[in-house]
Structure 1
């Protein structure tokens, strides 16, 4: 294993444990990354719960080859089709974030209500035209292409009654985007419990997107999320 490959797997493992500690991952879910900028090699946690995945549980597969190895998750096509459609995407997270699932399934608009939860300008699209043969699981390349098309150039998409798909240029962006999507959904949920959700004005959303993805602000967020001692101790 090369040093670069080892460091990438450590980063993915850390991301999985952070997301697990915030309740965004459950026993299912996956976090993936290109193995280098523009690479067709993809590294993803294998058939093990993401929060418990060790370095040896991360698998690498090739986008240019047909089919998938048995060692990768059944929903790996979600990742593959987004990578194929988006050269700007370097990492993808598919999770079952509970508040985001509730809000999307209830028909509430997933739009920013707080600056910390502003990850994109557009409302988060919701995919619900499932292939009956797969239930709500996206296990074929043909259906995954539909998911990638609905995502378009955005960062996040919801699978109704199932989970979220969050894309970023890096593992850090995919992890932060997943956390901030869930935080915003939680606020929408609590607003809806007492009244109509209030959404940020469009001009404020545009300002906040720049705020959230500013490098210094991301570093602050990373420091906060990694302050969880259990996550840090996973490398000791």
Structure 2
């Protein structure tokens, strides 16, 4: 069993991540999103479908096989358990998953267009490659989950995917890092759309990824 202290810490971090997303202005007007945090090899915490004003007591504990172990989820929220489970099964190092309908990133999902990595924040926060598109399937369905799993297998280093005609799915080592990447991706999508009006965005020069990593390493040393 996971220590109660660990559960409480993870819950507080999820609440903090939701607050970060709203403060950054990257959420859809509806406030719809779902966030999760891994507790151990078999369980994770999951939010309800709308996270504005989220409180730790609203989180449910669910198993990777789809059972609600503690707390409550509406049928709408329960649909997405398998989507989060697919990430945790495929990526043992992932500690948190965030799904949003962030407007600019969702525009790329609607267009079925990968989001290029052409802003430094995306490099710095863990997405040093294009964000791929997962083919459409009904939310939480076997078709959708298989699509996510297939893309993760083909793209073993991506930390995000666009769900066609739906939204954004981001995953990382913890709730805070994952929220920062959501913000970086949404800002990058906004910049891509704006740059299209003045001739289009331009790729990084060769060696940019290595240069950014070297810069981070120098500061961290």
TM-score (norm 1): 0.77
CA distance in 2, matches of 1:81, 1:165: 12
CA contact (8 A) 2:112 2:165 kept: no
Cα 1:5/1:216, change in 2 over 3 Å? farther
Tell me, yes or no, if the aligned pair for 2:133 and 2:162 is still in contact at 8 Å. Answer: yes
* Distance verdict in 2 for CA 1:78–1:66, change over 3 Å: closer
The residue number in structure 1 matching 2:193 is 189
Distance 1:61 1:126 in 2: 27
Contact residue 33 and residue 44 of structure 1 kept, 8 A: yes
Question: Are the aligned partners of 2:112 and 2:164 in contact in 1 as well (CA < 8 Å)?
Answer: no
Give the TM-score normalised by structure 2.
0.81
The equivalent residue for 2:17 is 15
User: Deviations for 1:166-186, whole angstroms, at most 9, x for unmatched residues?
Assistant: 110111221111111111111
2:85 maps to 1:83? no
Give the number of aligned pairs: 206
CA distance in 1: counterparts of 2:149 and 2:215, whole angstroms: 26
SS in 1 for 2:147: helix
**Matches of 1:215 and 1:104 in 2, distance apart?**
36
Unaligned runs of 5+ in 2: none
The CA deviation at 1:201 is 2.6
2-structure distance, mates of 1:52, 1:216:
35
The runs of 5 or more residues in structure 1 that have no matched partner are: 218-236
